[in-house]
Amino acid sequence: MSTTPRMLRVGAAQLGPIAKDEPRADVVERLRSLLAQAGTHGVELVVFPELALSTFFPRWYTEDISGHDHYYETEMPSAETQPLFDDAKRLGIGFALGYAELTPEGERFNTTVLVERDGTIVANFRKVHMPGHDDDQPWRPFQHLERRYFQESDEGFPVHRAFGGIVGMATCNDRRWPETYREMGLQGVELIMIGYNTPIHYAPDPGQNALQGFHNHLCMQAGAYQNGTWVVGVAKGGTEEGVESLAQSAIIAPSGQIVAQAVSTGDELIVADCDLDWCANYKDTLFNFATYRRPELYQRITSQKGVIEPD
């Protein structure tokens, strides 16, 4: 194990609701305010939520999806987000920012841009697991039309050498899937950044409503522990356009323990010193994949038997 800790001070910049008619410039001002706050705390990396520049527009159906084009970014940085990029570079703070991406080819992705402390763009991550539905379902109190407004990325979960370690990203529903963490865990990830918009009400099975907070932390804490990695989960919470969304942003250690958690449902910065070398405590011992992980012992049997029918 290394004897020189690689300490990274990380801020999770939770956002409260963004109104449908809130101008992009006003939202960027809120992000800049959280970034300035991070600067006073010596933060080196700020993680903002999924779709951090607008209201969660997939809750509304439009026959012609181009009716929602104004929610998308065709370039990043854009003229409106440039002040955030400028502030961050001046303060020497890197950041991850979720936004709706519309490519020149007309493709639509739920994307997070990762920017290093010197202002260089490290990567754009595009959400893989796309929840909800693509058709009009007016029976719901509100809709979840991500499958209409975004396509699934087939670019997987790459990791990047940045911020003195190995870092990766995932977006909202991605955090519920073990493959998300495992894909990056197998690449040695040390810090995973995840933004989310999670309505409390889950129309297909409202029995899950009361468990939203539990499930949120359950999957991120398990993903952190089982892969020996830091996880930074950041919400856009509170009641937005009548829809209540989960807050409870958290910074989670490789032990699976929550070391910082938001206490409000609004704009709030939480900070933790993330020792990236702590990951080795798990990656080199209990979860030493090279020594102990044996997928060939169970994957071969599973593929031979296929799905086992009950008697």
Residues lying near ligand CDT in the complex (CB under 6 A): 50, 131-132, 144, 172-173, 176, 196-198
Q: b/e per residue, 66-82, with b = 16+ CB within 10 A?
A: eebeebbbeebbeeebe
CB of 209 to ligand CDT, least distance (A): 11
Alpha-carbon distance of 5 to 8, in angstroms, equals 9
Verify whether residue 127 is a known catalytic residue: yes
Nearer to ligand CDT, 82 or 208 (CB): 208
- In the set 44, 73, 116, 172, the catalytic residue is 172
Other C-beta atoms closer than 10 Å to the C-beta of 156 total 13
**Please, is 113 exposed, middle or buried when counting C-beta atoms within 10 Å of its C-beta (0-12, 13-18, 19+)?**
buried
Q: Residue 71: CB partners within 8 Å, gap ≥ 6?
A: 54, 55, 57, 100
Nearer to ligand CDT, 95 or 196 (CB): 196
Verify whether residue 50 is a known catalytic residue: yes
CB of 202 to ligand CDT, least distance (A): 6
- In the set 44, 50, 73, 183, the catalytic residue is 50
CB of 43 to ligand CDT, least distance (A): 25
CB of 247 to ligand CDT, least distance (A): 13
The full DSSP string for 53-72 is TS--GGGS--SSGGGGGGGS
- In the set 44, 73, 116, 127, the catalytic residue is 127
Verify whether residue 283 is a known catalytic residue: no
Nearer to ligand CDT, 152 or 277 (CB): 152
The full DSSP string for 185-238 is HTTT--EEEEEE--BS--TT-GGGGGGHHHHHHHHHHHHHHHHT-EEEEEEB-E
Nearer to ligand CDT, 177 or 289 (CB): 177
CB of 121 to ligand CDT, least distance (A): 23
Nearer to ligand CDT, 60 or 289 (CB): 60
Just list the catalytic residues. 50, 127, 172
